[in-house]
Amino acid sequence: MKKILIVGNWKSNKTEIETNEWFQRFTIYDLRFTNKEIIICPPFTLLSNLKSSILNHKSFIKLGAQDISPFDEGAYTGEVNGKQIKEFADYVIIGHSERRRYFGESEDIIVKKIEMAQKYELTPIVCVSDIKQAENYTRYTLIIAYEPLFAIGSGNPDTPENANEMAKKIKEIIDAPVIYGGSVTSQNVKSFTQMPSIDGVLPGKASLDANEFASIIEKA
């Protein structure tokens, strides 16, 4: 049975109170599947809170950050570095299209971030919207998230066939798991995860609701 990765990207959402409510609701569900790996990527401010909840409840959830500094520790105001992230998380999303678009992240910066993640033994989940971007990462050990721009936050997902074709093409150049992101919901998740070249999903909006996220995990 293939391993299915489900990566919830909370983006810039939730306070501590909201996170506690989410966790309480989520833990009601019995979701221990041996073939499913569940990763939540909250804002940096919530990593500590979630780490404590996970330890206290012996939860199977793994944690990821949504970004990483391209620099090591030092005089880089506002940045959170790999050594700091590693205290809380095992994964990090890198090169999300929102970071490329709103924060001008270049390929050069993204590669530096991947190298920092590797230095601190964080698994990079690198987002790409086309095969050309993927070509820049062929020499790294990572997870690729194929996220077509039109599908992110639009309610208009790619077709499972097209996403599978892209995942297949990416796997021809990178030996890595490839997950799909872009308007994933509990209604459409299975159509993606049942595809032979797709190893999981990266829901954004749908991961904010504990019931919906639990349903995605059940149905994936």
Active site residues: 96, 147
- What 3-state DSSP class applies to 153? coil
Smallest separation, CB 72 to ligand PEP (Å): 27
In the set 65, 202, 210, 220, which binds ligand PEP (CB under 6 A)? 202
Smallest separation, CB 204 to ligand PEP (Å): 2
Nearer to ligand PEP, 96 or 100 (CB): 96
Q: What DSSP designation does 155 have?
A: S
Does residue 64 bind ligand PEP (CB under 6 A)? no
Of residues 86 through 115, those in contact with ligand PEP by CB under 6 A are 96
Does residue 200 bind ligand PEP (CB under 6 A)? no
The secondary structure of 28-72, three-state, reads CCCCCCCCEEEEEECCHHHHHHHHHHHHHCCCCCEEEECCCCCCC
Characterize 109-146 residue by residue with b for buried, 16 or more Cβ atoms within 10 angstroms of its Cβ, and e for exposed: bbbbbbebbeebebbbbbbbbeeebbebbeebebbbbb
Of residues 2 through 61, those in contact with ligand PEP by CB under 6 A are 9, 11
In the set 64, 82, 200, 204, which binds ligand PEP (CB under 6 A)? 204
Does residue 152 bind ligand PEP (CB under 6 A)? yes
| Half-sphere exposure (Cβ direction) of 127: Cα atoms closer than 13 Å | 26
Residue 180 to residue 160: CA distance in whole angstroms: 9
Nearer to ligand PEP, 53 or 186 (CB): 186
Does residue 188 bind ligand PEP (CB under 6 A)? no
In the set 53, 123, 129, 183, which binds ligand PEP (CB under 6 A)? 183
Helix intervals (H) in 97-201: 97-102, 107-119, 131-134, 160-173, 189-193
Q: Which residue is nearest to ligand PEP (CB)?
A: 204
- What residues line the site for ligand PEP (CB under 6 A)? 9, 11, 96, 147, 152-153, 181-184, 202-206
